[in-house]
Structure 1
Amino acid sequence: MIVRRLDEVAAVDWGNGLSRRFLVEADGMGYSMTDTTVRAGTTSPLEYRRHLEACYCISGTGEVVDADGTSHTIEPGTLYALDQHDAHFLIAGPDEDLRLVCVFTPALHGSERHSLDSSEFSHY
């Protein structure tokens, strides 16, 4: 059994926020689970070529915009899933950090970071 508390998990600064990676590849579960904070007022171009991801919002507001420009509001109680390795923009609202619980499959190694300034989209 694996039991971890938020205050025991190291935070990885991924560029526009922090990712607390509760489960990683070395845990042998086949998926990762993170508690991710996206800093208020930031826009993150993202695309996961090796991972599928589902995110559930627990606080804050924002939007996820797909590659064709369709915007979806994110607020507490909203889940979005990137089931096609979708390129997207994650935008946190201006007044409060966006907080998400995210699941990645296959599992993250644990130290991955986005490169938000090197190209249009940051790739894992």
Structure 2
Amino acid sequence: MIVRHLNDIIDSERDVHAKNGNWESRRLILNNDAVGFSLHDTIIHAGTETLLWYKHHIEAVYCIEGEGEVETTDNGEVYKIKAGSVYLLNGNERHWLRARTTMRMVCVFNPPVTGSEKHDADGAYCPGAEAGS
């Protein structure tokens, strides 16, 4: 059994921050936990806009605080997000995530991430990063 508390993650190597300051992701479960997914408690800062594209991962996002929107880049559809909303990027959609207020999200990735990935120029994690390569 694995038991962790968010307070133990904050300010550790599992507390990852965007270089541009848009978000912070506290990685609760990672690839090395060997459960087939990763789980993140993520803060998206108010007034920010981030281009993301998980080409190699499926991501489910559950908003538990705040308000914002997701806009898919292929068709420009905009989805309002607020506490209680979930969105699933089951088609690896490239998207803009915009936070009107500070948003707190619970994110699940499959395949799981290692925790050390960096977003590339497309907003994606490099292929194979989940395996530590």
Count of aligned pairs between the two proteins: 118
1:123 matched residue in structure 2: 124
Aligned-residue offset at 1:123: 1.1
2:3 matches 1:3: yes
Which position in structure 2 is the counterpart of 1:42? 48
Identical pairs, percent: 42
Q: When the two structures are superposed, what TM-score results if normalisation uses the length of structure 2?
A: 0.85
Over the residues paired in the alignment, what is the CA RMSD in angstroms? 1.1
Give the unaligned 5+ runs of structure 2. Answer: 126-133
Partner of 1:63: 69
Q: TM-score by structure 1 length?
A: 0.91
1:111 Cα offset (Å): 1.3
CA displacement 1:40-65 (0-9 Å, x = unmatched): 10100100011100000000100000
Alignment of 1:12-91 (within 5 A): 12-15=16-19, 16-67=22-73, 68-91=75-98
Higher RCO (CA-CA < 8 Å; seq separation 6+):
1
Q: Using the alignment, how far apart are the partners of 2:119 and 2:45 within structure 1? A: 14
